[in-house]
Amino acid sequence: SQELEQSPQSLIVQEGKNLTINCTSSKTLYGLYWYKQKYGEGLIFLMMLQKGGEEKSHEKITAKLDEKKQQSSLHITASQPSHAGIYLCGADSSGAGSYQLTFGKGTKLSVIP
Amino acid sequence: NAGVTQTPKFQVLKTGQSMTLQCAQDMNHNSMYWYRQDPGMGLRLIYYSASEGTTDKGEVPNGYNVSRLNKREFSLRLESAAPSQTSVYFCASNKLGGAGSPLHFGNGTRLTVT
């Protein structure tokens, strides 16, 4: 079965610093979704990537899906305390869409003011 | 816009008790899902409903039953709760189950089985 490896597992950065979170799959990805979760809350959808080489940005967050479609990165520029939380990637490696999404275990981000 | 609403938010059960977790969405989505989230295990799919009138097993269906009551509502039932079912349960929905349709999640139900 598909497994998604997220790295790092946790990250502590000073406010204003840039950071990158990676999501790696052993299988080709037909779709890759990034979510953010705050403690005690649900998952908030950030971005969706489907094509190799695709890159999307929202405010200070940029996500990329590599050309071989087996890895995605999430980059935060000039981090703020509001960026703190758990970032999860979810992937479709079967082509069956969201019926068989697999999720990574998450990267916990702390931003120190 | 409420999105996906789950009730209750917290629940404590004794082993062997039963309960139903409720989920409703107001986004006119066709597909609905139940996940559980456990430390070190990530999110795992329990059951899903691709459309009204259909339900299918996910990765970890044992010990659970579901009902797609109508297009808006999808419930998860634990007939005889076990400590291994202590978890955070999330309901999600999306417009179409295929590629290109992100899931929208509720805020979760935190269940403890003693």
pLDDT, tens digit, 9 for 90 and up, residues A57-104 = 989 999 999 978 799 999 999 999 999 999 999 988 777 777 778 899
pLDDT at residue number A75? 98
Q: B1: pLDDT confidence band, cut at 50, 70 and 90?
A: low
The pLDDT of B22-44, averaged and rounded, is 93
Give the other-Cβ count within 10 Å of B15's Cβ.
11
The pLDDT of A37-50, averaged and rounded, is 91
Please check whether residue A28 touches B, CB under 8 A.
no
Is the CB of A42 less than 8 angstroms away from the CB of B108?
yes
pLDDT at residue number A20? 98
The pLDDT of B6-20, averaged and rounded, is 97
SS3 (DSSP) at A100: helix
A48 CB neighbours in chain B (<8 A) are 100, 102
Q: Which residue of A has its CA nearest to B56?
A: A99
Cβ atoms of residues B4 and B92 within 8 Å: yes
Residue range A97-113, pLDDT digits in tens: 777 788 999 999 999 99
Q: Which residue of A has its CA nearest to B5?
A: A42
SS3 (DSSP) at B57: strand
For the cut 80, the answer to whether the pLDDT of residue B37 exceeds it is yes
Is the CB of B101 less than 8 angstroms away from the CB of A95?
no
Distance between B18 CA and the closest CA of chain A, angstroms:
24
For the cut 90, the answer to whether the pLDDT of residue A26 exceeds it is no
Please check whether residue A89 touches B, CB under 8 A.
no
pLDDT at residue number A28? 84
Decide which of B36 and A4 is more confident: B36
pLDDT at residue number A27? 85
Distance between A106 CA and the closest CA of chain B, angstroms:
7
Please check whether residue A97 touches B, CB under 8 A.
yes
pLDDT at residue number A71? 93
Is the CB of B56 less than 8 angstroms away from the CB of A99?
yes
Is the CB of B56 less than 8 angstroms away from the CB of A33?
no
B92 CB neighbours in chain A (<8 A) are 43
Q: Which residues contact B45 (CB under 8 A, 6 or more apart)?
A: A100, A101, B33, B34, B35, B58, B59, B60
Place of tokens 């068989």: A100
Nearest to A50 among B40, B100, B104 (CB): B100
The pLDDT of B67-88, averaged and rounded, is 96
For the cut 80, the answer to whether the pLDDT of residue B81 exceeds it is yes
pLDDT at residue number A99? 77
Q: To the nearest 10°, report the CA torsion of A52, A18, A58, A90.
A: 50
A86 is written with which tokens? 């758990």
DSSP A50: -
**What residues does A75 pair with on adjacent strands?**
A20, A62
For the cut 80, the answer to whether the pLDDT of residue B63 exceeds it is yes
B67 is written with which tokens? 């009902």
